[in-house]
Structure 1
């Protein structure tokens, strides 16, 4: 049994995690602990507070007691908003506090882009444009070429959590770019676990979503590889086939 721990801010799309645990179809347990979200706003000052060391540290002991082998801060915006170096400091502090290997969703995206072999990506974000641009800057710092970035102007995670298939599909299509080798949907408040495979068939390229890459990153930290085609190209080496 591989036990992975996730610090998830507030309550929006956390039900993606038990869904993905079933999709993995293996001896993998995904333990989610909720952190205090503070002010629910995709705004830089609120995000910096949401990702503060004290807020993350509060949930660490519960994950340790649950037997987690690694911990991932399951939030994109409240990690990349610190910048490339600041986000490294954030996960180093988390690792020291937890006494476990640690990462965040932002680094999960950077690692997942390399895993699927995408040199150029498009970002289709729920965030306001200024926050989406900060994510693009983070990716560029990781060595990824971002060919297009589109924000949707959504301020709260609560609103994002209400989106279903039609909204997610429309955002992915609107954010695609002909030069992009993968499309990134960076918000753990967005339900995507049930949609990844259909999105890839629809758009004909790897789709990387926040909760999906977060779980993959936890497995990577624990040195586990799991074949789960329902979670997309990231979890399998099979080519993406577009349905016309």
Structure 2
């Protein structure tokens, strides 16, 4: 049995989507969650302005905060910080630092959703992307800057400016599909949907069929990259190009 430990920001948001995808990948794959508490001064994320949200997710991704929260009932084989914005707002060096300290703390391979995007894009040989972002445009620009540090260019993006991850967990497939379609661009080799609260697993194949290119969701790249870190990248049909190569 392979056990993936996911650090996650808000309880009861997108955990069931991770579990749904894990069930499609292997009956021997177990996913456990540990939760990283928001800062004492955050209150309701929905009530924060764009700058306040940006600072809140940056604080949430502080390496020391992640290490303190990384406590699982059973030791995982690999751990990942399963939050997109909280792993890219500190830049590429910051994401690598998060991974380093978690790996040292748990003694297992450690990754994050943002680093998973870079690994997935390299695996697909993709250097130009479009972003279907649920964030404020300033946070979307931060993610584009993170990608640029790794040599990936963003040719187009849209920003939904959603109020919180809890609100995003309630989005239905139609709304996610509409966001993806609005973000697509002819020059983009792949489309990215960077948010682990969204329920995207049921949409993976249909999104790619509709857009005619790889669509990389946060949930999908996080689990794919975690298994790849163990040397066993999953190959499954019906889950999009990332899992079929």
Kept in 2, the 8 Å contact 1:4–1:218? The answer is: yes
Structure 1 residues 86-125: Cα deviation after superposition (integer angstroms, max 9, x where no partner)? 2211211111122221111001001111112222110110
Kept in 1, the 8 Å contact 2:34–2:71? The answer is: no
Kept in 2, the 8 Å contact 1:26–1:226? The answer is: no
Q: Which of 97, 103, 107 matches 2:111?
A: 103
Deviation of the 1:26 alpha carbon: 4.3
Q: How has the CA–CA distance of structure 1 residues 169 and 221 changed in structure 2, closer, same or farther, with 3 Å as cutoff?
A: same
Q: Once structures 1 and 2 are overlaid, which stretch shifts more, 125-134 or 51-60?
A: 51-60
Partner in structure 2 of residue 2 of structure 1 = 2
Structure 1 residues 150-206: Cα deviation after superposition (integer angstroms, max 9, x where no partner)? 111113111111101111000000000001110000011111111111101111110
Kept in 1, the 8 Å contact 2:10–2:166? The answer is: no
Deviation of the 1:53 alpha carbon: 2.4
Partner in structure 1 of residue 68 of structure 2 = 58
- DSSP-derived class of the 1:231 partner: coil
Kept in 2, the 8 Å contact 1:116–1:234? The answer is: yes
Kept in 2, the 8 Å contact 1:163–1:190? The answer is: yes
Task: Tell me the TM-score normalised to structure 2 length.
Answer: 0.91
Hey, what's the Cα distance between the residues in 2 that align with 1:224 and 1:74?
19
Mapped pair 1:83 → 2:84? no
- DSSP-derived class of the 2:185 partner: coil
Task: Tell me the TM-score normalised to structure 1 length.
Answer: 0.91
Deviation of the 1:236 alpha carbon: 0.6
Partner in structure 1 of residue 185 of structure 2 = 177
Hey, what's the Cα distance between the residues in 1 that align with 2:112 and 2:208?
24
Q: Which of 227, 230, 236 matches 2:235?
A: 227
Aligned residue runs from structure 1 range 42-191, under 5 A: 43-62=53-72, 65-191=73-199
- DSSP-derived class of the 2:120 partner: helix
- DSSP-derived class of the 2:201 partner: coil
Hey, what's the Cα distance between the residues in 1 that align with 2:26 and 2:95?
32
Hey, what's the Cα distance between the residues in 2 that align with 1:103 and 1:211?
13
Kept in 2, the 8 Å contact 1:80–1:135? The answer is: yes
Hey, what's the Cα distance between the residues in 2 that align with 1:232 and 1:67?
30
Unaligned runs of 5+ in 2: none
Hey, what's the Cα distance between the residues in 1 that align with 2:18 and 2:197?
12
Aligned residue runs from structure 1 range 6-17, under 5 A: 6-11=6-11, 12-17=13-18
Deviation of the 1:235 alpha carbon: 0.6
Hey, what's the Cα distance between the residues in 2 that align with 1:161 and 1:17?
12
Hey, what's the Cα distance between the residues in 2 that align with 1:148 and 1:124?
9
Kept in 1, the 8 Å contact 2:77–2:108? The answer is: yes
Structure 1 residues 18-46: Cα deviation after superposition (integer angstroms, max 9, x where no partner)? 10111103422222222223433662210
Hey, what's the Cα distance between the residues in 1 that align with 2:203 and 2:210?
10
Unaligned runs of 5+ in 1: 238-244
Aligned residue runs from structure 1 range 198-209, under 5 A: 198-209=206-217
